[in-house]
A and B are shown apart, each in its own frame.
Chain A
Amino acid sequence: MSARRLRRELDGAARRAELPASRPDFLEQCLCRPPLSFDFGSTTPARSASNSPRRRGTLLLEDGTRFDGVGFGASTTSIGEVVFTTGMVGYPESLTDPSFRGQILTFTYPLLGNYGVPPTTARDEWGLPRFLESSEVQVRGLVVRGLTSPSHWQSRHPLERWLQDSGVPGIAGVDTRRLTEHLRAEGVVRGALHVGATPASDDALLDRIRRAPEYAEEDYMAAVSVRHPVAYGDASAPLVAVIDCGVKASILRALLNRKLGVLRLPHDAPVPDRWEGRRVRGLVVGNGPGDPERLTVTVSEVGRAVDARLPVLGICLGNQLLALSRGGRTFKLKYGHRGQNKTVCFPNGRSLIMSENHGYAVDPASLRGTGLVPWATNPDDGTLEGLRDRPGRVLALQGHPEGHPGPQEAGFVFDQFASRVTRRGA
């Protein structure tokens, strides 16, 4: 064990000692389980699924910092990278965003579950999840300050039951601001989230963390990517390929809504020139979890498409893969950008508010000589928020122009991409 690691553990132990002992009664408040009847007619959100006795929740960070709270969701222990998002709405979308695969997600907003969970099996006209970003909960765990009883016309379940059904643990009653400040200062770390009848010991949890793979070393693609190509939309619409490294449903929908046909490809599949007789006229590389440098097959496929002068749109991970495909480099941010209030500045003086969820970024210096140029930047830390080639055939944003959750002003990139694809086809 390194000296630094040891010091952190000791710090963590010291911090633990300051905390009050477990406070079961008050923590119960975080779960707000009312004895009152709660009947909303047809849209009844069922009361909390679990009638089992109250469970303990423990979040232990790799550096030894411990948070105790009330457990909810599944009774299990899961290991993941602990990250935080500052978004105030959109938890069903966030929890099902495949980019959060491998992570334990903390919400800085102190009340979660207010509007319950919408119908999880509902599909839109293209067969995509209607209200969610993928078919399942993607996070490894959920950390909140307070959990509330839901009220919303679209709600079908309380949040805690959904997590339970999804086999994902959650912890409430955590001082998420203290956790956030810790992550901000120390950088994101792995952690263990344990939910059970009894609290878990530090040693046991640290041991579990040590035996688990590092975040960057894990392979997520098998879990988040489609196995076979799937086509969506009108068969006569201009067809674009989407490399699925865990692409959000809203990205596909944003394309379909702009009268494009979508060919969703497995992350390691070649981008075909034609599909069932239709020419593939553009490529979209979407979001996804993990270290972009691990996705070497995808990177080379993206590079091939760029070489083929195909219009390419990169979003989030796609932005990073595009840079890598031309010889750029990526690096890991200390604690990432996760929230719906991120500022993105363009060279013409315009700024947009964007939804973001990324832990890696493109090194702008590495773009020299790649044929790509910085297009958008984050004014707060100077990180690269978008890139393009000079003709504008290649466009990429680090944030999420499709929103869900969050602002959609940057949706104009879909329009630009669609018009370029359509123009070439005409």
Chain B
Amino acid sequence: MRPPRYEKIVVLGSGALKIGEAGEFDYSGSQCLRALEEEGVYAVVVNPNIATLQTDPPKHGRVYLQPVRPEFVEPILEAERPDGMMLSFGGQTALDCGIRLADRGAYRRSGVKVLGTPLQGIRDTEDRALFVQAMGRARVPVLPSRAVYSVDDALAAAEVLGTPVMIRVAYTLGGKGGGVARDRAGVREIAERGLRLSPVGQILLERYVGDFKQIEYEIVRDRKGNTLTVCNMENVLAMRVHTGDNIVIAPSQTLNDSEYQLLRQAALRAATEVGIVGECNIQFALDPRSEEYYAIEINARLSRSSALASKATGYPLAYVAAKLALGYTLPELKNRVTGVTTACFEPALDYVVVKLPRWDLDKFERADRRLGPSMKSVGEVMGIGASFPEAIQKAVRMSDPTGDLVPPEAPRPLAEVEPELKHAGPEILFRVLEALETGASVDHIAKLSAIDPWFVEQLSGIVRESRALRRRAGHPLPASRLQSAKELGFSDRAIGRITHHSEAAVRSRRLHLGVRPHVRMIDTLAGEWPARTNYLYLTYRADADDVRPSPKGSALVLGAGPYRIGSSVEFDWSTTNLVAGLKAAGIPSVTILNSNPETVSTDYDRSDRLYFEEITLERVQDLFDLERFRGVVTCVGSQLAQNLTPGLKRTGVPVLGTTPEAIETAEDRSQFARLLERLGIPQPAWKAFTTLEEASAFADEVGYPVLVRPSFVLSGQAMRVIWGRPDLGRFLELALRISREHPVVVTKFVQGADELELDAISDGEKILVAGVLEHVERAGVHSGDAIFSIPPRRTAVAVQEELVRAAEQIAQALRIRGPFNIQYLVKDGQFQIIELNLRASRSLPFLSKFTGLPLIEEAARALLGEPLSRSGWNPPPPDRWGVKVPQFSFLQLVGADPLLGVEMQSTGEVACFGSSFPDALMRGLFAAGWSAPRAAGRAFVSVGGPALKAEMLPIVERLVSLGFGLAATEDTALYLSQAGFSDVTVLYKVSEPDRHPNILEALADQGVSIVLNVPLSLSQEKLEQMLEDEYVLRRRAIELGIPLFTSLEVFQAYVEGLAWMKDHALTVEPTYGPRGSARTSGPAVTLGVRLPLTTPPASR
């Protein structure tokens, strides 16, 4: 039977990447679009995340780079008049937006049908009270709990349930705002916070089951009721840690058939009761000592877990879910891996996968490092192997290519390790090994950590193997020992370190003895049927390869690995698009190597061959041994891939594009500086140093502040602005720890300069300039955290032309072949170059979409040594503006200071285009979760130093003219009234809680609707932690969702934007229609939204 036909369907995306909602939704949205394309449906995508594949110009459809918020989506529905709406492919953001659209009656008015799981089903899973009722009908037990709407009721409920009690917040993602309360005070604190954060003002208290097993099932179900589980997963850190921060293994390892089926049948009943059509994820808590279990939650949408399940099994969950939403039934769909068997089956695995999160907590000052019920990780990797140790060791190296999961040589006393087992942090696996090394029993470790003894026992295999290797230290290793270590996942480097051999020596001995990994397919059926899949991994527990080498002349593209601060979906965009680019340029077969399950590049139909493997020198060499690649591309996989270039060159692996020598010149500060000197291109005073004395003398000479950083880093890791001598020693030490092999560089930090970036492609002769971008903030904010404007607002075109000329000179001097990015400082019309990156940059997708230029195709030609087919620079037309806005996740990181600096902290980004800067900016800010202030509220201003205060005055004046009141601390209030402002409310400091009105009270009772807090010199105060007061203020503003500004330039732009919105409506128009026609081919929708815009609180 044919499913009903749909002509046009709106697909909501998830917006910027943030903690709890990341790249997995580009995977799910992209698979959904693929399914729609097959059906000939005209797909309308609403998603402001410009770095995603799903917002690429569609073949048949349209993209709106617009905030996924009802105010913006409703006019799109009215203009587009679609038949259907997909809500389940854009995470919680899309689901929330979809529910609110329903509440506003938008579907009724525009006659749109929500496809997939019906709205009532979504509500049953999202509203805790409805959820409990639905599970009751399905005979699935849920934790004894109480949903409450006030702090008093929360306290009463805690009395009944007993403490400790888990508090969850309704309608938030990543468990945002929830927590475990151990006493009354804790209940009060978390309840207060949670009630404010929940868009519906509801929180849930439930029995705490931290030591239960955390088991998840992924369900698909069609409209006829055919239901099955695609995968189940077990969380190694039990219920104690949010699944997003947990170490997850698929399939479950410690469940017997009875438990497996008990939960599976419960999952099927639950999905049936809720009426899922498509996909859902169900999470259970299972007692480790009985069959007592509870359903914790259902996500009636694609989720991080479903992306993981998809990659773990090879079953394309999002694609299938989209087809089911269109009305197909499961038996009508084919398993895409075999091409002949049905999609109505449950995958059988003959391997295990382990997901390991990637945390970047070191980047966030003051952030709480303990893992718990709210998610903190920014990315993840997935190791595949024939055993848990093999998979977990891979995963550890995937997450940190310099790390090896081996026990420490000198473990601390057990008593020191124990607290770190009890409260897991990001290093929990290392702590387990350390405890094992001290001789602690499996049982003892299991008891403290709530990790099932099975996993601890498996990890102890790594410890035993390390000891066995240690006994062979200094001797030649026999084949049996090497084979054993490799089966347990040890890298050549780790074996070398333990046995005192070099990595290269271990490798050559290993190959000499015939110990090598074999290629295996992920075929969904454990080998039962012949598969046509190209989805591969390597394992040492095998005797034979499943595939033959790629055809001659094929290429390998290195992906970017886990998403982390500074490297996320934009690099996946480059990686995935480059495959098509290389194919267009004549490469017969392109293979991707990547380790990140949240990506589109690891969908096996995006490349000719996919190795889901670690991105390490050893593995790339293994692949070159197995395959016949012409060369490897390292310039689209962010710094992770590029850092392999020197090693690859050493081992004779051919690198495509810019030569490793040129890359070294760009990355090594001193070589790069000499190049600039030779070319006569200005640069800030700099010096590479290895001792504090040298550095100190240099800093005295050029004058503080100075910028300190190691070479070969991305995203400002260990980069600091230093304001005085005392800090210098501290950061020299840190910088050396990050990169021992490369010199550390001190640069004069130019204050008050503008920062610009240029992206281009070069063939060694000519360059194609993608664009010149200007930061809205003054220099000093990391480029990944800055708001970008194209065209520049403050830099003259003549100066921009100079920047282009300098780029051309450098490209020719280094004979760059491929994409590159240059960062400049401009002050008083004079420019200096501060950085050159010989790889695809973070802004490449933004520029590609803004300009409509085929940048990746040109890059592919350049990489293969062919001339560019076009070159030069065209500034954008005057009525076209693009603004890129970073997304922060401070709220999810308890304690993190939202003050920006030279170290990158944003987790994602959005971009909007418009005919004026404010139009694009304001939509960009809304898309990144900023809210419009409550109308006619008060702005609290706290600005350090007379210079900044003076700069602030005109902005504040503008704000007052818009009808806002002012509030300030005593000092600033006095300054403001002297400057002629009347009626400035004085708010007392955090450190003076007895004086009223206090700033914290004013924030809490909604007396303040905007906070401006610019400390005197960002970094100095941040480092020396002088102003605890201001930290608490910033933190509270974030927690309450009050727009917070720590930069005067952004504040000014925001105020200008508010003023603009008073007289103009924001435009909502498609960014491009079919085949990427650069400008709208459809109706420009004028948004009827005017100030006051009231929106719910969201994280900045």
Instruction: Name A's B-contacting residues (CB within 8 A).
Output: 19-20, 23-26, 28-29, 32, 34-40, 84, 86-90, 92-93, 108-111, 114-115, 118, 131, 145-146, 148-154, 175-178, 180-181, 184, 339-343, 345, 349-353, 379-380, 403-409
Provide the residues of chain A in CB contact with B329, threshold 8 Å. Answer: 349, 351
A38 touches B457 (CB 8 A): yes
**Cα distance A131–B291 in the bound complex, in angstroms:** 14
**Cα distance A131–B443 in the bound complex, in angstroms:** 26
Provide the residues of chain A in CB contact with B528, threshold 8 Å. Answer: 84, 86, 108, 180, 184, 339
Which residues of B (326-366) have their CB < 8 Å from a CB of A?
A: 329-331, 340-342, 344-352
B483 touches A110 (CB 8 A): no
- Least CB distance from B752 to A in Å reads 61
B483 touches A176 (CB 8 A): no
Provide the residues of chain A in CB contact with B349, threshold 8 Å. Answer: 88, 109
Interface string of B516-551 (1 = CB under 8 A from A): 000010000111111000000000011110100000
Provide the residues of chain B in CB contact with A89, threshold 8 Å. Answer: 251-252, 255-257, 260
Provide the residues of chain B in CB contact with A38, threshold 8 Å. Answer: 441-443, 457
Q: Which residue of A lies closest to B525 (CB)?
A: A86
The answer, yes or no, to whether B225 is at the interface (CB within 8 Å) is yes
Provide the residues of chain B in CB contact with A404, threshold 8 Å. Answer: 257
**Cα distance A380–B331 in the bound complex, in angstroms:** 10
- Least CB distance from B249 to A in Å reads 10
A152 touches B225 (CB 8 A): no
Provide the residues of chain A in CB contact with B514, threshold 8 Å. Answer: 20
**Cα distance A251–B464 in the bound complex, in angstroms:** 44
Known A34-B457, A407-B264; contact A154-B525, beta-carbon cutoff 8 A: no
Provide the residues of chain A in CB contact with B461, threshold 8 Å. Answer: 29, 32, 34
Known A25-B478, A25-B484, A409-B268; contact A151-B348, beta-carbon cutoff 8 A: no
With A84-B528, A88-B251, A110-B387 already in contact, 16 other A-B pairs whose C-beta atoms are closer than 8 Å: A37-B443, A38-B442, A86-B350, A86-B525, A86-B527, A87-B348, A110-B386, A111-B388, A175-B543, A176-B350, A177-B350, A177-B542, A340-B346, A380-B345, A380-B529, A408-B265
The answer, yes or no, to whether B408 is at the interface (CB within 8 Å) is no
Provide the residues of chain B in CB contact with A342, threshold 8 Å. Answer: 345
**Cα distance A352–B349 in the bound complex, in angstroms:** 19
Instruction: Name B's A-contacting residues (CB within 8 A).
Output: 1, 224-226, 228, 251-258, 260-261, 264-265, 268, 288-290, 329-331, 340-342, 344-352, 386-388, 436, 441-443, 452-454, 457-458, 460-461, 464-465, 478-481, 483-484, 487-488, 514, 520, 525-530, 541-544, 546
Provide the residues of chain B in CB contact with A341, threshold 8 Å. Answer: 345-348, 525
- Least CB distance from A380 to B in Å reads 4
A23 touches B480 (CB 8 A): yes
Provide the residues of chain B in CB contact with A28, threshold 8 Å. Answer: 484
Contact partner, A110, options B288, B344, B352, B464, Cβ 8 Å:
B352
B481 touches A39 (CB 8 A): no
Provide the residues of chain B in CB contact with A36, threshold 8 Å. Answer: 436, 441-442, 457, 460
Provide the residues of chain A in CB contact with B290, threshold 8 Å. Answer: 153
**Cα distance A405–B258 in the bound complex, in angstroms:** 8
**Cα distance A159–B288 in the bound complex, in angstroms:** 20
**Cα distance A282–B904 in the bound complex, in angstroms:** 74
A25 touches B480 (CB 8 A): yes
B289 touches A153 (CB 8 A): yes
Provide the residues of chain B in CB contact with A93, threshold 8 Å. Answer: 257
Contact partner, B386, options A145, A380, A403, A407, Cβ 8 Å:
A145
Provide the residues of chain B in CB contact with A379, threshold 8 Å. Answer: 331, 341-342, 344
**Cα distance A336–B529 in the bound complex, in angstroms:** 12
A151 touches B341 (CB 8 A): no
**Cα distance A108–B488 in the bound complex, in angstroms:** 19
Known A86-B525, A178-B544; contact A380-B341, beta-carbon cutoff 8 A: yes
Q: Which residue of A lies closest to B518 (CB)?
A: A175
A353 touches B345 (CB 8 A): yes
**Cα distance A353–B224 in the bound complex, in angstroms:** 15
Q: Which residue of B lies closest to A336 (CB)?
A: B528
B487 touches A29 (CB 8 A): yes
**By CB atoms of chain B within 10 A, which of A88, A149, A405 has the most?**
A88
- Least CB distance from A354 to B in Å reads 10
Provide the residues of chain A in CB contact with B226, threshold 8 Å. Answer: 350-352
**Cα distance A93–B461 in the bound complex, in angstroms:** 28
**Cα distance A406–B256 in the bound complex, in angstroms:** 11
- Least CB distance from A58 to B in Å reads 15
Provide the residues of chain B in CB contact with A406, threshold 8 Å. Answer: 257, 261
Provide the residues of chain A in CB contact with B228, threshold 8 Å. Answer: 353
User: Do most interface residues of chain B lie in helix, strand or loop, or is the interface mixed?
Assistant: loop
User: Do most interface residues of chain A lie in helix, strand or loop, or is the interface mixed?
Assistant: loop
A145 touches B541 (CB 8 A): yes
A343 touches B347 (CB 8 A): no
Known A118-B256, A175-B543, A184-B530; contact A40-B348, beta-carbon cutoff 8 A: no
**Cα distance A176–B528 in the bound complex, in angstroms:** 11
B526 touches A26 (CB 8 A): no
Q: Which residue of A lies closest to B253 (CB)?
A: A114
A20 touches B261 (CB 8 A): no
- Least CB distance from B117 to A in Å reads 19
Q: Which residue of A lies closest to B225 (CB)?
A: A350
Contact partner, A25, options B1, B330, B346, B483, Cβ 8 Å:
B483
Provide the residues of chain B in CB contact with A23, threshold 8 Å. Answer: 479-480, 483
Known A25-B483, A114-B253; contact A175-B541, beta-carbon cutoff 8 A: yes
29 A-B contact pairs sorted by A residue (CB < 8 Å): A20-B514, A23-B483, A29-B488, A34-B457, A34-B460, A34-B464, A36-B442, A37-B443, A38-B457, A39-B443, A89-B252, A93-B257, A108-B526, A109-B349, A110-B351, A114-B254, A115-B256, A131-B258, A148-B458, A184-B529, A339-B348, A343-B331, A343-B345, A349-B224, A351-B342, A353-B345, A405-B257, A407-B265, A407-B346
B526 touches A177 (CB 8 A): yes
Q: Which residue of B lies closest to A116 (CB)?
A: B256
**Cα distance A379–B226 in the bound complex, in angstroms:** 14
Contact partner, B484, options A29, A39, A184, Cβ 8 Å:
A29
B254 touches A181 (CB 8 A): no
Provide the residues of chain A in CB contact with B525, threshold 8 Å. Answer: 86, 341
Which 3 pairs show the lowest CB-CB distances between chains A and B? A25-B480, A90-B257, A151-B454
**Cα distance A305–B490 in the bound complex, in angstroms:** 63
Q: Which residue of A lies closest to B524 (CB)?
A: A341
**Cα distance A373–B453 in the bound complex, in angstroms:** 51
- Least CB distance from B659 to A in Å reads 40
Q: Which residue of A lies closest to B454 (CB)?
A: A151
- Least CB distance from B630 to A in Å reads 29
Provide the residues of chain A in CB contact with B544, threshold 8 Å. Answer: 175, 178
- Least CB distance from A185 to B in Å reads 8
Provide the residues of chain B in CB contact with A90, threshold 8 Å. Answer: 256-257, 260
**Cα distance A118–B258 in the bound complex, in angstroms:** 11
Provide the residues of chain A in CB contact with B387, threshold 8 Å. Answer: 110-111, 146
B350 touches A26 (CB 8 A): no
Provide the residues of chain B in CB contact with A408, threshold 8 Å. Answer: 261, 265
Provide the residues of chain A in CB contact with B488, threshold 8 Å. Answer: 29
Contact partner, B527, options A19, A29, A181, A340, Cβ 8 Å:
A181
A152 touches B254 (CB 8 A): yes
**Cα distance A109–B453 in the bound complex, in angstroms:** 20
B452 touches A151 (CB 8 A): yes
B352 touches A111 (CB 8 A): yes
Q: Which residue of A lies closest to B484 (CB)?
A: A26
Provide the residues of chain A in CB contact with B443, threshold 8 Å. Answer: 37-40
Q: Which residue of A lies closest to B541 (CB)?
A: A145
**Cα distance A410–B543 in the bound complex, in angstroms:** 38
Provide the residues of chain B in CB contact with A340, threshold 8 Å. Answer: 346, 348
Provide the residues of chain B in CB contact with A152, threshold 8 Å. Answer: 254, 256, 454
- Least CB distance from A303 to B in Å reads 33
Provide the residues of chain B in CB contact with A150, threshold 8 Å. Answer: 454
**Cα distance A405–B387 in the bound complex, in angstroms:** 22
Provide the residues of chain A in CB contact with B257, threshold 8 Å. Answer: 89-90, 92-93, 403-406
**Cα distance A146–B481 in the bound complex, in angstroms:** 17
**Cα distance A421–B1017 in the bound complex, in angstroms:** 86
